[in-house]
């Protein structure tokens, strides 16, 4: 039986994909116990060519070719084709730390946990080139068993809904019918929240599994109307989870706080990147379509924001735009680099 399916979507990552695939084969795992599913999402560069020799060398690699349908569709198709008891979904521009996967997989197979959530390192390209100097020595992983809701309350940071740090029991995903929202960016947000809230048995470990590559083009490097619509859909799908049965008051509160965090992030992106005031307001129009009953009520700030969104969205975006462009983009950097940092360095 295949123990693990590693799903790697590929789209225009010729600079990084070889490092990613090579890292998968530095895990002290026999090829017979896992499969690698490479989903070619209509890549327009040489991504598939630069790993052609690796594909020819290993018999446990399969290829799914599709039109450019998005990362979320690629992952859904990969999960549908997977045969492993567990699923891992690394991003194609990131990589696994050598010999980090085996102990997590062994524990997952032993306990039959729905989710095994690990830690990761954040590195820039130059650090990755000198990888051995930046990875701390790891001994043996320790695990804390939690319910999914405990994991949600204690460990889920709404800014870090990273899919690639988790081993998913495939049968759990199939039985709950949890899928990525097709054809949008920010799909990790509703997916991760739903996975945590519905899971029964989970394991949390501080063991380092992945390296998150920082500093190149990403979903946060720009923001336009298409991305605003995608973000609104992600927020709307996460908002639907507030209707789940069996959530406690504290779980409801955290879920709504997480959604407010996503909303605030979207507004900040719009104010930072969009020059046209009418486009900034359209961001809120998209949100009203995707989550017409969206309402924040945990504290005065959230209640005020709800009132402004519903009644005077133009005014809200003017205020936020002024705050972001003047305070966040100018005053805060000046304070930190010219005033606070010199004081700290004395």
Structural domain spans, the chain: 4-214, 225-335
Query: Phi and psi of 223, rounded to 5°?
Result: -155, 125
Q: Cα(77)–Cα(66) distance, rounded to whole angstroms?
A: 9
Residue 290, pLDDT above cutoff 50 = yes
* Residue 344 pLDDT: 38
- In the block, which residue shows the tokens 């890292």? 23
Beta bridge partners of 212: 122
**pLDDT (average), residues 113-141:** 89
* Residue 133 pLDDT: 72
Which long-range contacts (C-beta less than 8 Å, at least 24 apart) are formed by 186-190? 186/219, 186/230, 186/231, 186/234, 186/262, 187/70, 187/71, 187/72, 187/75, 187/234, 188/161, 188/162, 188/163, 189/158, 189/161, 189/234, 189/235, 189/238, 189/262, 190/234, 190/237, 190/238, 190/240, 190/241
Residue 346, pLDDT above cutoff 50 = no
- In the block, which residue shows the tokens 């996967």? 101
In tens, the pLDDT along 2-47 reads 999 999 999 999 999 999 999 999 999 999 999 999 999 999 999 9
Question: Of 94, 85, 80, whose CA–CA distance to 37 is shortest?
Answer: 80
Which long-range contacts (C-beta less than 8 Å, at least 24 apart) are formed by 291-296? 291/232, 291/235, 291/236, 291/239, 293/239, 294/235, 294/236, 294/239, 294/259, 294/263, 296/256, 296/259, 296/260, 296/263
pLDDT band at 55 (very low <50, low <70, confident <90, very high): very high
Residue 217, pLDDT above cutoff 60 = no
The CATH architecture of the domain made up of 4-214 is: Alpha-Beta Complex (3.90)
* Residue 135 pLDDT: 83
* Residue 341 pLDDT: 46
Residue 237, pLDDT above cutoff 70 = yes
**pLDDT (average), residues 79-92:** 98
Residue 220, pLDDT above cutoff 80 = no
**pLDDT (average), residues 264-275:** 93
* Residue 336 pLDDT: 53
24-28, 196-200, 283-287, 341-345: least confident range: 341-345
Which long-range contacts (C-beta less than 8 Å, at least 24 apart) are formed by 123-127? 123/211, 123/212, 123/213, 123/214, 124/213, 124/214, 124/215, 125/213, 125/215, 125/216
* Residue 333 pLDDT: 63
3-state secondary structure of 329: helix
Residue 98, pLDDT above cutoff 80 = yes
pTM of the model: 0.92
**pLDDT (average), residues 135-159:** 95
* Residue 231 pLDDT: 97
């Amino acid at each position: 039986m295949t123990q693990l399916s590693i799903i790697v979507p590929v789209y225009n990552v010729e600079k990084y994909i070889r490092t990613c695939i090579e890292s998968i084969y530095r895990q002290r795992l026999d090829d017979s116990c896992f499969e690698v599913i490479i989903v070619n999402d209509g890549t327009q560069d040489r991504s598939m060519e630069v790993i052609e020799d690796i594909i020819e060398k290993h018999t446990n690699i399969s290829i799914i070719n599709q039109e450019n349908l998005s990362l979320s569709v690629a992952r859904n198709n990969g999960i549908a084709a997977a045969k492993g008891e567990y699923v891992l979904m690394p991003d194609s521009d990131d990589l696994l730390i050598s010999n980090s996967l085996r102990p997590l997989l062994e524990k997952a197979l032993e306990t039959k946990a729905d989710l095994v959530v690990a830690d990761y390192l954040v590195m820039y390209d130059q650090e990755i080139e000198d990888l051995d100097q930046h990875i701390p020595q790891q001994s043996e992983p320790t695990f804390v068993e939690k319910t999914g809701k405990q994991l949600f309350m204690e460990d889920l940071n709404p800014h870090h809904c990273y899919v690639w740090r988790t081993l998913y029991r495939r049968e759990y995903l199939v039985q709950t019918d949890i899928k990525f929202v097709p054809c949008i960016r920010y799909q990790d947000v509703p997916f991760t929240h739903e996975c945590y809230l519905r899971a029964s048995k989970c394991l949390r470990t501080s063991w380092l599994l992945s390296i998150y590559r920082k500093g190149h083009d990403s979903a946060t490097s720009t923001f336009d109307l298409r991305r605003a619509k995608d973000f609104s859909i992600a927020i709307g799908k996460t908002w639907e989870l507030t209707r789940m049965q069996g959530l406690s008051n504290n779980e409801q509160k955290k879920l709504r706080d997480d959604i407010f965090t996503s909303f605030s992030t979207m507004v900040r992106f719009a104010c930072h990147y969009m020059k046209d005031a009418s486009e900034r307001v359209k961001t809120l129009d998209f949100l009203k379509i995707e989550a017409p009953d969206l309402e924040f009520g945990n504290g005065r700030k959230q209640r005020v924001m709800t009132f402004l969104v519903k009644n005077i969205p133009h005014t809200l975006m003017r205020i936020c735009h002024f705050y972001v462009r003047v305070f966040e983009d100018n005053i805060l950097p000046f304070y930190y680099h010219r005033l606070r940092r010199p004081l700290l360095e004395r």
